[in-house]
Amino acid sequence: MSVNQQAHTGPPYGQPQPGYQGYQQPAYGGQPLPGVPQSQYGAYNGPMPGYQQPVPPQGSLRAPPTSGAPPPASGASLPSGHLAYGQFGHGDVQNGIPASAAPMQRPPASQSFLPGSAPTPVSQTATFQQYGPPPASVQQLSNHMAGMTIGSTTASAPSPAGLGYGPPTSVPPVSGSFSATGSGLYTPYTASQGPSPTSVSQGLPLAQPLFPGQLMSTQRLPTQVPGFAPPPSSAGIGPSSYPPSTGAPRPPTMPGPPLPGQTVAGPPTSQPNHVSSPPPPSTMSGPHPGPPMSGLHGPPPPTHPPQPGYQMQQNGSFGQVRGPQPNYGGAYPGTPNYGSQPGPPPPPKRLDPDSIPSPIQVIEDDRSNRGSEPFVTGVRGQVPPLVTTNFLVKDQGNASPRYIRCTSYNIPCTSDMAKQSQVPLAAVIKPLATLPPEETLPYLVDHGESGPVRCNRCKAYMCPFMQFIEGGRRFQCCFCSCVTEVPPHYFQHLDHTGKRVDFYDRPELSLGSYEFLATVDYCKNNKFPSPPAFIFMIDVSYNAVKSGLVRLICEELKSLLDYLPREGNMEESAIRVGFVTYNKVLHFYNVKSSLAQPQMMVVSDVADMFVPLLDGFLVNVNESRTVIASLLDQIPEMFADTRETETVFAPVIQAGLEALKAAECAGKLFIFHTSLPIAEAPGKLKNRDDKKLINTDKEKTLFQPQTSFYNNLAKDCVAQGCCVDLFLFPNQYLDVATLGVVTYQTGGSIYKYAYFQLETDQDRFLNDLRRDVQKEVGFDAVMRVRTSTGIRATDFFGAFYMSNTTDVEMAGLDCDKTITVEFKHDDKLSEDSGALLQCALLYTSCAGQRRLRIHNLSLNCCIQLADLYRNCETDTLINYLAKYAYRGVLNSPVKTVRDALINQCAQILACYRKNCASPSSAGQLILPECMKLLPVYLNCVLKSDVLQPGPEVTTDDRAYIRQLVTSMDVAETNVFFYPRLLPLAKADVNSDSLPAAIRNSEERLSKGDIYLLENGLNIFVWVGVNVQQGLIQNLFGVSSFSQISSALSTLPVLENPFSKKVRSIVDMLQVQRSRYMKLIIVKQEDKLEMLFKHFLVEDKSLSGGASYVDFLCHMHKEIRQLLS
């Protein structure tokens, strides 16, 4: 069989490949491969042992292959000769060279190379090979690996999905050239197969095939001498040979360990993007393309003396990555002397420099493969494009990925299989997500007094998966199989296929997401709700007044009240407003429209809070406009000379709650608060901040509230539909872990502006306030997730309250909040019927209308682990694992939580290696194609401030981040844990596009460039010491580097193309995020640079976090221990 078969020729993504069914094809040596992962997104989710993850259902999740692998860009498979452009889309992981690079030849994938045999020379660059002692990190790998023959391993590595797994292909190894390989390498994954796994070779170059998914891996090179694996396909890279991949010039090799995908040594400094190492292609999504990542080999056998400069290359090996050594500029020479030292390399081909899986490459490949075609939701179990890809969704029966994303779209049929894989089965649901203007909002269906049609037994709502029988007179529930009579008013005849003839006229029969108008039976106390109210509660203590905050809030509210949310075509908002100010006592204001001036009423008995007025407290903005304006003018003056520094907090929430109860409506409190509430009152707190507890068993108390008072208050607020949004302006510790309890449990949002200063923080605060007041919110919300027989929802993460095991209750749910739901098996699933989820959200709209929003999703089920690993979504998996870990710190020592995360991910990857990858040496690290970024992203979670704080991180910061992440969606956690880094000097001032991102490592930065880094909360603009004077003048309006002010909070508005372009990039990024990001200017070698470096997540962190390369080695070691 030719190993090399072109996967490309295979069916398009959507279809399963013939040969791949269980990947039972003969493996590279003719043995059946155990399962090769196919999908591009490998399964990421493995539950950690420590955490119980739900077991993935098995089943045919995999929908048509489409779902499994991302289709090539066009969806069809490419012919083998072509490189697929989305590199990752293809069966091989392209880690190495970008697809577009010169084509490489791939050695026959299937050949098994015996150790010792000459590998086909791939034209990899030396880079990949690690000829020298492996870097330290590498070296452990190597040690373990030492002794293994790499070569053979390679052979065994699974071939990329695209390749057939057969005996070696007829394709001869390419000796020097990549071309063949390249193309094959990049074979797109065919539909059903997912990309192949990536293998990293451990420290050895030879790994190239290691990653099956990787390019390299694809090719199985003949075994190389253990000494080196041929570099992955990307091999041809000489350090200098490639232009910088990213585009930003890389500084000359910077000192410091190379990043994991970079080679440090060789590449010329000029290469922009990369740090100097060329080899790893930035593209790679998987492990290094070159050497298969997955196959990290142990150190090569001593056969060759290590060459001095070769650390393990990124390519397959992990070690430091070095740029290609000068001598090895090129790909492997054609000569196959893998066993021996390589001859002079052929001239280098242009390849991307990095060889361990690169997030940037994976993101770019997905954009090019899947960004041009709409994502049509009609097929069960399709894996959607990544959250970083811009794509259009067409709802044809399954909810859009903007509403629901799953960790895997093909779940195991049995709980045993789920436990074996450790991949958590979870869905991240964002019920009220905002859609782009070109997509249609969910239709509102009104069934009149009878209400929505539901199953008699499980109460599931009518949806596209219900089966009509007996000529349309009854329907069988797709969730519980119960048969229910169709109400007479809803009856409709069936056509010859068994579909109702009004199928396309009814959203609930043809779409994945829609809304029902709820009847009075769905309302509290069986009466329709009143429109909600907003109450603004302003701290007027000394700090708030002195900083200018009180005046700022009052000025902003005068205009902001005209922008309260309203229902589609309403002339004005139905929301009523009220105002309270407070310090140690509370001041209520009567702003009734008939008054000439507002009236203030003071409640000083904070121990027994009540609202002193009913009529005139909550009013319509238009009717009371002049009285409200007068009040907002007077508040700053009334408290201008205050000397009161103490504040209360719980009574403020109680006052708002009582006001909503009296008005018999739901609503939201906007509380602007500055300090720890130490005044005598219910909910009084003490300063318990203690950094000495970090890394002790008592550290968890820092995340827990210091009193149960707020939990009880939160419960009362949820019962009334009183949501609390909190704007904090602390100058010292104010116990976010306790003050945030009510906000968190009512579905509200917390915003924090430490050391608030008017001139630098005003824009950020006002933008956040405007968006928070105007965004879509559902009140008095209850969400329930129903599943088909075989799985059930067992665990929930997010900002909500639960009084029972099934209903998620939120006083308020806005368009940015997600609820993460974990599923476990309670029975077997079947491949034929798959698995279904239905999320039903009952809520009150901002106009006071009671509605039900329904989202349906069908998943495939599988009996082969390979199908599970081929249809995972790593970004969603990381979102789930981060939330799981962030909840874990409430009850367990942080070290226990970190170890459990590492253990679970090692189990996920070990299960894949054992059951799905073709047999290969233990020295190889083999990663599923869709999960090749699991190690780099997991390391980012482990290094985050919650799990591994640096000395400058405050206790409040950690509690704030913990609560924030718990309700983030997948796109937000993606950029939060792996920030976006853009080289600004490369920006095209004549286009609307962003410059190509580069990897998060100091090695990628050039002293002569300016970079922008964003993580959803902050935007850093880093300026190198050698930036051209013209760029500095154009961007900052000053003539030299030394004159740039680090105190700027906005970029100056200058009339030149570069300034306009950079400001437009900043504006574009601000619009994409749910919070207004703080702009921080960082000059190289300035004191702020340490803060900036904290976000270069592929490097070692000051707080002790491992670099990507070191962590990959550590993961490999963990996986080997599990396998042995």
Q: What DSSP letter does each residue of 169-197 carry, written as one string?
A: -SSPPPSS--HHHHHHHTPBPPSSS-PPP
Tokens 């066993």 belong to residue: 339
814 pLDDT band, cuts 50/70/90, is: very high
* pLDDT score of 119: 38
Residue given tokens 């000068």 in the structure block: 326
Residue listed under structure tokens 């001239």: 347
Residue 149, helix vs strand vs coil: coil
Percent of the chain with pLDDT over 90: 65
- The mean pLDDT of the chain is 77
- pLDDT value of residue 919: 83
What the block records as the tokens of 396 is 């044809």
pLDDT category, 146, cuts 50, 70, 90?
very low
Measured between alpha carbons, how far is 934 from 1023 in angstroms, rounded to an integer? 31
Calpha distance 119→288 (Å, rounded): 18
Residue closest to 999 by CA, chosen among 142, 260, 175? 260
In this structure, are residues 678 and 543 in contact, taking their beta carbons and an 8 Å threshold?
no
* Neighbouring residues of 287: CB distance < 8 A, sequence distance ≥ 6: 93, 95, 198, 199, 200, 210, 211, 213, 214, 217, 293, 294, 316, 355, 356, 357, 925, 927, 932, 1112
Lowest mean pLDDT, pick from 161-175, 695-709, 731-745? 161-175
Q: What is the helix (H) or strand (E) element at residue 883, kind and residue range? A: helix 874-888
DSSP annotation of 510 reads H
Whether 604 has a pLDDT exceeding 50, the answer reads yes
Per-residue confidence band for 831, with pLDDT thresholds at 50, 70 and 90: very high
- Tell me the mean pLDDT in the region 293-320: 38
pLDDT at 297 exceeding the cut of 80: no
**Residue 619: per-residue pLDDT:** 97
Tens of pLDDT, residues 949-970: 888 899 999 999 999 999 999 9
Q: What is the pLDDT of residues 1001-1037, one digit of tens each?
A: 999 999 999 999 999 999 999 999 999 999 999 999 9
Question: Which pLDDT band, with edges at 50, 70 and 90, does 196 fall under?
Answer: low
Euclidean distance between CA atoms 211 and 147, whole angstroms? 19
Return the top range by mean pLDDT from 25-39, 91-105, 113-127, 766-780.
Answer: 766-780
Pairing of strands 586-590, 576-582: antiparallel
Maximal C-alpha separation, the chain = 96
Could you give the angle at which helices 874-888 and 955-966 cross, rounded to 10 degrees? 130
Distance CA 683, CA 673 (A): 14
Using CA atoms, how far apart are residues 411 and 1099, in angstroms rounded to an integer? 35
pLDDT in tens, 713-763: 999 999 999 999 999 999 999 999 999 999 999 999 999 999 999 999 999
Residues 97 and 236 sit within 8 Å (Cβ to Cβ): yes
Residue 869 has pLDDT above 60, yes or no: yes
CB 705 within 8 A of CB 737: yes
Runs of H (alpha helix) within 11-149: 65-68, 136-145
pLDDT at position 924 is: 85
Place of tokens 């045993």: 416
Taking the CA atoms of residue 924, residue 1110, residue 330 and residue 291 in that order, the dihedral angle to the nearest 10 degrees is: 20
Whether the predicted pLDDT of 240 surpasses 80: no
Could you give the CA distance from residue 277 to residue 267 in angstroms, rounded to a whole number? Answer: 5
- With cut-offs at 50, 70 and 90, classify the pLDDT of residue 354: low
Contact assessment for residue 758 and residue 552, using Cβ atoms and an 8 Å cutoff: yes
Dist. CA 1114–CA 1109, nearest whole Å: 9
Looking at residue 918, its pLDDT comes to 85
Please, how many CA atoms are within 13 Å of residue 568, restricted to the half-sphere of its CB?
Answer: 5
The pLDDT of residue 699 is 94
| pLDDT bracket for residue 580 (50, 70, 90) | very high
* Nearest residue to 943 via CA among 1112, 1093, 1094: 1094
**What pLDDT shows up at residue 51?**
41
Query: How many CB atoms are closer than 10 A to CB 396?
Result: 13
Residue 370 has which token pair? 């899947």
Helical ranges in 536-611 per DSSP H? 542-546, 549-560
Name the pTM for this structure.
0.73
Query: Highest mean pLDDT: which of 38-42, 242-246, 928-932?
Result: 928-932
H or E element at residue 738:
helix 736-745
Measure the CA dihedral 59/968/1116/356, to 10°: 100
CA distances to 223, 340, 365 from 307, rounded to whole Å, are 19, 12, 34
Q: Are 276 and 293 in contact (CB under 8 A)?
A: no
